[in-house]
């Protein structure tokens, strides 16, 4: 089979669009001239399909074809010159000067010459045998011809799969406003004839061609899928590659921290000294039948020195030390957390005796869940439980865990055989704070520091808070150009931790400053005249942090338990600010400045009623709400809930009335203190005491 086709260029398609397709089979033939005079097309082309050319004289075929927008005829030709001669004149006249192609006939060949190129392009198709020919004259070019008559290549199939834009269809052509009704009818007829011809050609597709197209499409799809899979494997292999570098072995000589660097937690140090001694001299204990504990759990608030204690163990023990964070065992891929646990203990077994330290162990050792949202969440903790005390015993490996959320740990993790020893690391007391202050003050240039006063004034501070306080004091002194760190800088840094960073000046609103002065003065007056309140430390109307003013208190001594009278006194001082606003400016002029005070007072009242049994009506019992991952609930009756709410409301209202009563009695002192705050902005405890004593 062969195909010869040529198309009018795009630039002249609007004027004379034309497409001719000749399709045939090879056969032996000779060039013979036929007399076409007084003969019709049927006479010179016997056996052709009946068409509109019937009974048309040959001399008038070109004129007839010129006046038709579209025409298709299929002929059984014996001599190709006949069809060429029949069409040559018509085609050349149709093209005229509008196209750069012409058609010529040369001895058993059809020659198409391009006149726009320097060297004419000649395409020769030799046909020695009769052939079938389809001849189409169309007044437009359709996408059907280019896509159906030519073999559809792989890129065309890919274009169809990707749904890329195609050429114009009949609907698009009919929407053209410049086409009249007659041209619309001609377009419809032309599209119909073209469709029928394309359908006949499509039916001639062989079975082998269909299978070859299927194979091509399958290969293309397989190539695309394999490429995507390769890219995914490369990316995921880089992101989620399992490495042992997360469990880092630290040589004992690399740790410079010892127990001498840990201050304020003497009891915890003593517990860990026994562990270190066991690691150094195991025979000393095994001779009496003692065994090395499997695990030691360090529990305490953040900043109390749990991680520092673990580092001290590494520095003192002289054995291999492995450390990991609980969050390192969390992975997006299922099963990777358990694998990390196995890899960690496998590396530790090869270096036993050794110590494994897991910081923030609550991240990996949290209570197991039955939630359908996390069906594989228990794999990591189950692997940890097995490694610590499972069927296969790990000899001479001790696990140190640190957490500030013991209540979140699984009960199976806390039993003897896993974490045998639990060491409490509390906030440092007065003696502990003195030791910590001495430790860090030795590292800076200081002068005339009253360590006892600082230790009393830092009640509730952790070791990390004290270290931060000393460091900020040194930074502030260096910024001011001082040669040493004095007491003044330490007090500034302490107040910054207690009350927040101080701004440079008051806000430029006198009314707001007046309200703030009476608000903070209310806190100070109630605290000063309430028996069981904490001693006043400092009161200021300088903005600190997010507040416009602040009143600070420092306990006079260590508190190991809190009485009911102390809790009520704390509530009274918190209510002093709102009570002062109402008494001075009226109920309609109270501000949002008391929001945090009310929140703290509500927490105290709620604990008194629901947890501490300090309400006579509710009684000596606790009422705790239960919760899970989805919702919270309690098992109390509506009547009990109402009783609890009424008691909380009563305690807070009585506290508010006591604060108002104190301010009514000492309204002159209150006014005097507010005016002093507006003038001096900040007053310490001695200033307030001198001011109120002078008034008395």
Q: For strand 550-553 and strand 536-540, is the pairing parallel, antiparallel, or unpaired?
A: antiparallel
Average pLDDT over residues 152-176: 58
Write down the pLDDT at residue 79: 40
User: pLDDT tens across 655-692, in order?
Assistant: 999 999 999 999 999 999 999 999 998 898 999 999 98
The proportion of the chain whose per-residue pLDDT surpasses 90, expressed as a percent, equals 24
Residues 278/292, Cβ–Cβ less than 8 Å: yes
Q: Is the pLDDT of residue 555 over 90?
A: no
Write down the pLDDT at residue 53: 53
Instruction: Please determine, looking at this structure, whether the domain spanning 510-695 carries the CATH number 2.40.50.140.
Output: no
Write down the pLDDT at residue 447: 82
Q: Is the pLDDT of residue 551 over 60?
A: yes
Residues 596/547, Cβ–Cβ less than 8 Å: yes
User: pLDDT tens across 538-550, in order?
Assistant: 899 988 877 888 8
Higher-confidence position of 434 and 282? 434
Q: Who contacts 554 (Cβ-Cβ below 8 Å, separation ≥6)?
A: 456, 457, 459, 534, 535, 537
Give 282's pLDDT tier (boundaries 50, 70, 90). Answer: confident
d(CA 473, CA 458): 14
Write down the pLDDT at residue 104: 45
CB atoms within 10 A of CB 125: 16
Residue-wise burial string across 153-165, b where 16 or more C-beta atoms lie within 10 A, e elsewhere: eeeeeeeeeeeee
Q: Who contacts 163 (Cβ-Cβ below 8 Å, separation ≥6)?
A: none
Q: Extract the tokens encoding 224.
A: 């695309």
Give 283's pLDDT tier (boundaries 50, 70, 90). Answer: confident
CA 235 to chain CA centroid, Å, is 18
Closest CA to 3 of 203, 207, 201, 137: 201
Average pLDDT over residues 80-107: 46
Q: Extract the tokens encoding 164.
A: 């890329």
Phi-psi region of 307 (alpha: psi -120 to 50; beta: other; left: phi over 0): alpha
Q: What is the DSSP letter of 485?
A: B
Higher-confidence position of 199 and 89? 199
Higher-confidence position of 180 and 512? 512
Average pLDDT over residues 85-93: 52
Residues 526/575, Cβ–Cβ less than 8 Å: yes
CB atoms within 10 A of CB 262: 23
Q: What is the 3-state secondary structure (H, E, C) of 511-556?
A: HHHHHHHHHHHHHHHHHHHCCCCCCEEEEECCCECCECCEEEECCC
Among 158-167, 326-335, 492-501, the least confident range: 158-167
Strand partners, 110: 105
d(CA 403, CA 570): 30
Write down the pLDDT at residue 160: 61
The proportion of the chain whose per-residue pLDDT surpasses 70, expressed as a percent, equals 64
User: pLDDT tens across 376-394, in order?
Assistant: 667 778 888 888 876 566 5
Write down the pLDDT at residue 157: 60
Write down the pLDDT at residue 116: 36
For 421, the enclosing helix (H) or strand (E) is strand 421-424
Q: Is the pLDDT of residue 517 over 50?
A: yes
Q: In Å, how far are 72, 81, 276, 334 from 104, measured between CA atoms?
A: 21, 10, 106, 75
Write down the pLDDT at residue 373: 52
d(CA 61, CA 535): 120
Q: Who contacts 93 (Cβ-Cβ below 8 Å, separation ≥6)?
A: 62, 66
Give 63's pLDDT tier (boundaries 50, 70, 90). Answer: low
CA 382 to chain CA centroid, Å, is 28
Mean pLDDT, the chain, whole residue set: 74
Q: Is the pLDDT of residue 237 over 70?
A: no
Give catalytic residue positions: 520
Q: Where are the alpha helices (DSSP H) in 442-462?
A: 451-456
Write down the pLDDT at residue 688: 92
d(CA 686, CA 257): 42
Higher-confidence position of 374 and 609? 609
pTM, rounded to two decimals: 0.60
Average pLDDT over residues 475-499: 90
Give 173's pLDDT tier (boundaries 50, 70, 90). Answer: low
Q: Extract the tokens encoding 166.
A: 């195609």
For 246, the enclosing helix (H) or strand (E) is none
The matching CATH number, chosen from 3.30.70.1400, 3.40.50.450, 1.10.8.60, 3.40.50.880, for 430-497 is 1.10.8.60
User: pLDDT tens across 198-213, in order?
Assistant: 666 555 556 677 788 7
Helix, strand, coil shares of the chain, percent, nearest 5, are 50, 15, 35
d(CA 476, CA 492): 9
Q: Extract the tokens encoding 47.
A: 């056996």
Write down the pLDDT at residue 339: 82
What angle (nearest 5°) sits at the alpha carbon of residue 480, between those of residues 477 and 481?
85
Q: Is the pLDDT of residue 155 over 60?
A: no
Burial (CB < 10 A; 0-12, 13-18, 19+), residue 324, is buried
Q: Is the pLDDT of residue 514 over 60?
A: yes
Write down the pLDDT at residue 42: 53
- Could you tell me the fold of the domain covering 248-424? Rossmann fold (3.40.50)
Q: Is the pLDDT of residue 10 over 50?
A: no
Residues 499/550, Cβ–Cβ less than 8 Å: yes
Write down the pLDDT at residue 135: 43
Q: Is the pLDDT of residue 452 over 70?
A: yes
Closest CA to 313 of 283, 364, 271, 281: 271
User: pLDDT tens across 564-614, in order?
Assistant: 999 999 999 999 999 999 999 999 999 998 999 999 999 999 999 999 999
Write down the pLDDT at residue 81: 43
Phi, psi of 395 (to 5 degrees): -80, 140
The residue ranges of DSSP E strands in 571-674, in sequence order, are 626-627, 632-633
Closest CA to 21 of 193, 187, 241, 229: 193
Write down the pLDDT at residue 54: 55
CB atoms within 10 A of CB 132: 15
Higher-confidence position of 307 and 204? 307
Average pLDDT over residues 334-343: 78
């Amino acid at each position: 089979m062969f195909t010869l086709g040529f198309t009018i260029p795009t630039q002249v398609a609007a004027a004379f669009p034309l497409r001719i397709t000749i399709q045939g089979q090879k056969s032996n033939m000779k060039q013979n001239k036929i007399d076409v005079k007084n003969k019709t097309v049927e006479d010179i082309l016997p056996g052709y399909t009946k068409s509109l050319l019937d009974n048309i004289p040959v001399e008038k075929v070109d004129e007839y074809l010129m006046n038709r927008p579209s025409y298709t005829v299929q002929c059984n030709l014996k001599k190709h010159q006949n069809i060429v001669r029949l069409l040559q004149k018509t085609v050349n006249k149709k093209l005229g000067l509008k196209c750069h192609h012409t058609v010529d006939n040369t001895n058993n060949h059809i020659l198409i010459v391009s006149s726009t190129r320097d060297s004419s392009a000649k395409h020769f198709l030799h046909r020695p045998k009769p052939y079938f020919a389809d001849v189409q004259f169309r007044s437009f070019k359709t996408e059907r011809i280019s896509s159906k008559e030519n073999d559809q290549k792989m890129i065309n199939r890919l274009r169809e799969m990707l749904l890329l834009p195609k050429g114009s269809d009949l609907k698009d052509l009919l929407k053209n406003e410049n086409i009249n009704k007659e041209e619309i009818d001609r377009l419809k007829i032309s599209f119909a004839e073209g469709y029928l011809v394309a359908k006949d050609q499509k039916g001639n597709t062989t079975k082998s061609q269909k299978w070859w197209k299927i194979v091509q499409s399958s290969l293309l799809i397989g190539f695309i899928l394999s490429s995507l899979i390769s890219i995914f494997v490369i990316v995921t292999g880089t992101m989620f590659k399992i490495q042992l570098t997360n469990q880092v072995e630290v040589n004992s000589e690399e740790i410079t921290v010892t127990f001498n660097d840990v201050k304020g937690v003497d009891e915890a140090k003593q517990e860990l000294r026994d562990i270190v001694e066991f690691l150094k001299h195991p025979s000393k204990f095994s001779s009496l039948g003692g065994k090395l504990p499997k695990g030691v759990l360090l529990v305490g608030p953040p900043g109390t020195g749990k991680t520092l204690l673990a580092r001290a163990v590494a520095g003192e023990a002289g054995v291999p030390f492995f450390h990991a964070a609980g969050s390192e065992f969390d992975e997006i891929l299922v099963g990777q957390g358990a694998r990390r646990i196995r890899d960690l203990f496998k590396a530790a077994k090869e270096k036993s005796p050794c110590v494994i330290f897991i910081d923030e162990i609550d991240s990996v050792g949290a209570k197991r869940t039955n939630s359908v949202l996390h069906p594989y969440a228990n794999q990591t903790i189950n692997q940890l439980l097995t490694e610590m005390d499972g069927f296969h015993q790990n000899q001479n490996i001790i696990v140190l865990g640190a957490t500030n959320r013991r209540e979140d740990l699984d009960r199976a993790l806390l039993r003897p055989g896993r974490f045998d020893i639990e060491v409490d690391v509390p906030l440092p007391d007065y003696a502990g704070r003195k030791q910590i202050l001495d430790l860090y003050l030795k590292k800076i240039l200081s002068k005339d520091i009253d360590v006892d006063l600082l230790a009393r004034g830092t009640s509730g501070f952790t070791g990390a808070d004290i270290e931060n306080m000393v460091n900020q004091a040194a930074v502030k002194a260096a910024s001011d150009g001082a040669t040493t760190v004095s007491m003044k800088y330490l007090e500034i840094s302490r107040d910054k931790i207690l009350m927040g960073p101080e701004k440079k000046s008051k806000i430029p609103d006198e009314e707001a400053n007046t309200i703030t002065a009476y608000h903070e003065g209310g806190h100070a007056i109630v605290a000063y005249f309430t028996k069981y309140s904490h001693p006043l430390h400092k009161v200021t109307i300088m903005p600190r942090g997010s507040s416009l003013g602040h009143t600070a208190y420092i306990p006079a001594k260590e508190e190991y338990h809190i009485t009911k009278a102390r809790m009520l006194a704390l509530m009274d001082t918190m209510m002093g600010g709102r009570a002062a606003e109402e008494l001075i400016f009226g109920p309609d002029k109270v501000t949002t400045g008391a929001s945090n005070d009310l929140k703290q007072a509500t927490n105290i009242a709620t604990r008194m009623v629901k947890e501490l049994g300090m309400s006579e009506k509710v009684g000596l019992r606790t009422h705790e709400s239960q919760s899970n991952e989805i919702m919270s609930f309690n098992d109390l009756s509506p009547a009990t809930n109402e009783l609890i709410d009424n008691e909380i409301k009563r305690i807070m209202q009585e506290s508010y009335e006591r604060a108002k009563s104190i301010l009514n009695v000492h309204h002159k002192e209150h006014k005097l203190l507010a005016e002093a705050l507006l003038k001096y902005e900040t007053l310490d405890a001695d200033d307030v005491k001198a001011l109120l004593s002078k008034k008395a």
